[in-house]
Amino acid sequence: MAKTWKDNDISLDPIKAQTIAVIGYGIQGDAQANNMKDSGLKVIVGLKKGGNSWKKAESDGHIVMSVSDACKKADIIHVLLPDMIQSQVYKDEIGPNLSEGKALSFSHAAAIHWKWIDAPKNVDIIMVAPKGPGSKVRETYLDNFGTPSIVAVHQDFTGKAWDRTLGIAKAIGSARAGLIQTTFQEEVETDWFGEQADLCGGSASMVKAAFETLVEAGYQPEIAYFEVLHELKLIVDMIQRYGINGMWRRVSETARYGGLTRGPMVITDDAKANMKKVLTMIQDGTFNKEWISEYQKNGKDSFDKYMKETEAHQIEKVGKQMRKMMWPDSTE
């Protein structure tokens, strides 16, 4: 069993005197910086001068400075930048100001595990990875609860890396829900696999294939949209709240029998074998090399051609109309 912690297991005292520089103020940076500040920690925010987030961070009550200056002042440098720019920002601004005994902290392990960042041996390297988007991290904190996190120490130079890791996790509210120990390798490999095989890639591909099957059989696209996409959230919510068997107990008997007997006809051993191929390509570095090469050549255009294909798909055209009907004030 993995080691776990709850809120009462952790004290903020070991890190209360330390300055934490949150580098980046996107959805995670915003949420984590504000939660740590509200928990009484000394937080500063490091941003690109003149960037869009500078005024927002200041309006939220933070001391804001350049990334270089923030890293000079900080004891803990908490990097919450997009994956693909971390390496360059580290090289230009973080690394030159990473002196002995400081901590380099992340919410995703890719930059360290794949050596996009080659950190020195005389610092702590730690991770606090909330299992939810930044909006949820902030929302649950304000509701006096939290979003669970997985936590890891990759390098403990000071002997106090776990105090720093658990302190950050408590301060952002995650320990209220629960913390689970992991490793940098396990976090990045399982995170990428989940995104590719199940959460994003697998689910989107399954929904499109189910939609196409119904429409090609002559059913109305609007009805197909409801049955294979719209109602999926209801099922996922039940699985998340009650587990898979708990979901089966809460659907109709017909859905229960049909799903239990026909689901394995759709997700076959071949599908599982393909999932293993996806996992192997993550584990052996194939995907990492492909992604880095593609991004270096094309930047954010790397995925545009795939997104344009989806945008042109009938399910998206129908979906826009259906969502306007259900949420008339929403914008996409």
Residues that are catalytic: 108
- Say whether 95 counts as a known binding-site residue: no
Contacts of 224 (CB under 8 A, 6+ apart): 210, 211, 214, 215, 315, 318
Determine the distance from the C-alpha atom of residue 30 to the mean position of all C-alpha atoms in its chain, rounded to a whole number: 14
Contact 108, 140 (CB under 8 A): no
* Cα 197 from Cα 204, distance rounded (Å): 10
- Say whether 231 counts as a known binding-site residue: yes
- Say whether 155 counts as a known binding-site residue: no
- Say whether 243 counts as a known binding-site residue: no
- Say whether 296 counts as a known binding-site residue: no
Contact 45, 70 (CB under 8 A): yes
- Say whether 219 counts as a known binding-site residue: no
- Say whether 53 counts as a known binding-site residue: yes
- State the DSSP H helix or E strand holding residue 150, giving kind and residue range, or none if neither: strand 149-155
Classify residue 309 by burial, with Cβ atoms within 10 Å: 0-12, 13-18, 19+.
Answer: exposed
- State the DSSP H helix or E strand holding residue 125, giving kind and residue range, or none if neither: strand 124-130
* Cα 85 from Cα 81, distance rounded (Å): 7
- Say whether 311 counts as a known binding-site residue: no
Tokens 């120490």 belong to which residue? 153
Contacts of 125 (CB under 8 A, 6+ apart): 103, 104, 105, 106, 112, 119, 153, 154, 155, 161, 184
- Say whether 27 counts as a known binding-site residue: yes
- Say whether 139 counts as a known binding-site residue: no
In the annotated binding site for substrate, the residues are 252
In the annotated binding site for NADP(+), the residues are 25-28, 48, 53, 134
In the annotated binding site, the residues are 25-28, 48, 53, 134, 191, 195, 227, 231, 252
In the annotated binding site for Mg(2+), the residues are 191, 195, 227, 231
